[in-house]
Amino acid sequence: MSINIQSALGEYLFLAMGECNGHKVVMGIGYTLEYADKKAKQFELSSGGTVKYIDISVIKTGDKEKCKTLEKLK
């Protein structure tokens, strides 16, 4: 499924995902890719290396399953 990143605000949720002690965790959530990415980078920095930022899951609002996985922004 192709995701239009410039979609209407609220159409998709972006969940920045990380790894902590062998568990996948949510590090940041946003209505925009940039906001979720920003929050995950802040989380990773403040965790002192305990949590590693790995990718971003895209979920259509109202759905329970992700529709796409994106790489974290550089």
Render 14-28 in DSSP notation, one character per residue: EEEEEEETTEEEEEE
Question: What's the chain's length in residues?
Answer: 74
Instruction: List all residues 6 or more positions away from 65 whose beta carbon is below 8 Å from its beta carbon.
Output: 59
Number of domains present in the structure of the chain: 1
Q: What pLDDT, in 10s, does the model give residues 18-51? A: 999 999 999 999 999 999 999 999 999 999 989 9
The answer as to whether 25 is a domain residue is: yes
| 34 domain residue, yes or no | yes
The answer as to whether 19 is a domain residue is yes
Q: Does residue 74 form part of some domain? A: no
pTM of the model: 0.86
For residue 37, give its domain range: 12-58
C-alpha–C-alpha distance, residues 47 and 12, integer Å? 27
Residue with tokens 């974290």: 72
Q: Are 59 and 67 in contact (CB under 8 A)?
A: yes
pLDDT of the residue at 8: 85
User: Residue 51: enclosing H or E segment and its boundaries?
Assistant: none
